[in-house]
Amino acid sequence: MQLPSKPLAGLKVIELGSLIAGPFAARICAEFGAEVIKVESPDGGDPLRKWRKLYEGTSLWWFVQARNKRSITLNLKHEQGREVLKKLLAGADILIENFRPGVLEKLGLGWEVLHALNPKLVMVRLSGFGQSGPLKDQPGFGAVGEAMGGLRYITGFEDRPPVRTGISIGDSIAALWGVIGALMALRHREVNGGQGQVVDVALYEAVFAMMESLVPEFDVFGFIRERSGNIMPGITPSSIHTSCDGKHVQIGANGDAIFQRFMRAIGRDDLAADPSLASNDGRDARRDELYGIIDRWVGALPLEQVLATLSQAEVPASRIYSAADMFADPQFLAREMFLSAKLPDGKPFKMPGIVPKLSDTPGSAEWIGPELGEHTDTLLAALGYDKETIAELRRSGAV
């Protein structure tokens, strides 16, 4: 039986990004069927190839971030290298780039030039501060976006300086907005008969957009949300607690009916029936009291007993998972969140599974991140370059 096409099959995406935001956006496109051509500098390629844990000189992260992509090396400072890129873009649907604003313009590859070359091209531009405004020319990584966008200010404990999450969450959020914007622009092009357009994503704005009620609370009440440790301020109870065997559990019992089930499960029928605790505003007013009660209950029991009790009562809860916990968990396994692959030397390894799950046209990982320039000759030949011309491009340093 022939499998259905992936949802983005037939789309050609050119990736000029490096490190995280641009490449993650392109990876999502590649997983769902787009032909993604990653353009890298001949001089070492994407720095992500050397980030975090290396296996025989190449980052394990690279093999995941660049899966399903093809790599071509082009020297964009060389006129012939830029001409090759223009040929690629002439037949492309999406360009994803995360250079500092103005870099492509200096290379003669700004939006006006590319739009004239290919009026249907959608250009996704990911940068620290966007393509306009007084900060547009400043460098800005995801960490800066998290700081400016408000996430860092509220993360951590109130008596200590702000902390970061353990991943580059600002870059990844920006990547998701980039993909959403690209799909919106494609729909406009294909359904409404429009042309290509620019999708302008600033990292700080991508984070800022996730900040829930921060803006109206400040504007109406002058309220500035501060760091609050493990609790979710204004939503009670939702926090992390420690069991007697020194393990940690997240409990989210902030729904009205859930709270009542929770209290009955821990032997506090009086609190379950207390009308002042029937809704969130009343519970939040007695937050410290409730968290003290929950802390004492969890702290008297081993983690597995805590989880079993909460599961029986249908109260949302989870141990705080490490990678080892994930690898052993039946839910992760049932949802195919670990894909088997092989490193270049044949060593088997696991990669994260595909998100989201589409029922009829699911995404997949067909191959791991390629070697630097692995597909250069093939892609150049497809553009009409013969072997002699390709050899000359190499000699001149254009590829």
Q: Name the H helices within the chain.
A: 21-31, 60-65, 79-90, 103-106, 111-117, 142-148, 169-191, 203-208, 214-221, 256-265, 269-272, 280-285, 287-299, 303-312, 323-328, 330-334, 376-382, 387-396
- For the record, the structure tokens of 391 come out as 């050899």
Burial class (CB in 10 A: 0-12, 13-18, 19+), 110: middle
Among candidate residues 270, 273, 152, the one with its CA nearest the CA of residue 204? 152
User: Contact, 130 vs 202, CB < 8 A?
Assistant: yes
Residue type, 397: G
CA distance 72 to 12: 14
Residues, the chain: 399
Q: Are 187 and 244 in contact (CB under 8 A)?
A: no
Q: Tell whether omega for the bond before 162 is within 30 degrees of 0, i.e. cis.
A: no
Cα–Cα distance measured from residue 15 to residue 366, given in angstroms and rounded to the nearest whole number = 18
* CA nearest to 363, candidates 39, 122, 28, 43: 28
Residue 294's identity, in one-letter code, is I
Instruction: Name the catalytic one among 46, 171, 200, 284.
Output: 171
53: buried, middle or exposed (CB in 10 Å: 19+, 13-18, 0-12)? exposed
| Interstrand relation of 94-97 and 12-15 (parallel, antiparallel or unpaired) | parallel
Rounded-to-integer distance, Cα 386 and Cα 393, Å: 11
Residue type, 111: W
The whole-angstrom separation of Cα 370 and Cα 51 is 16
Kindly report whether the peptide bond that precedes residue 237 is cis, defined as omega within 30 degrees of 0: yes
Quote the Cα angle for 219-220-224, to 5°: 60
62, 29 Cβ separation under 8 angstroms: no
Active-site residue 200, yes or no? Answer: no
Q: HSE (CB half, 13 Å, CA atoms) of 396?
A: 16
DSSP reduced 3-state for 250: strand
Catalytic residue set: 171
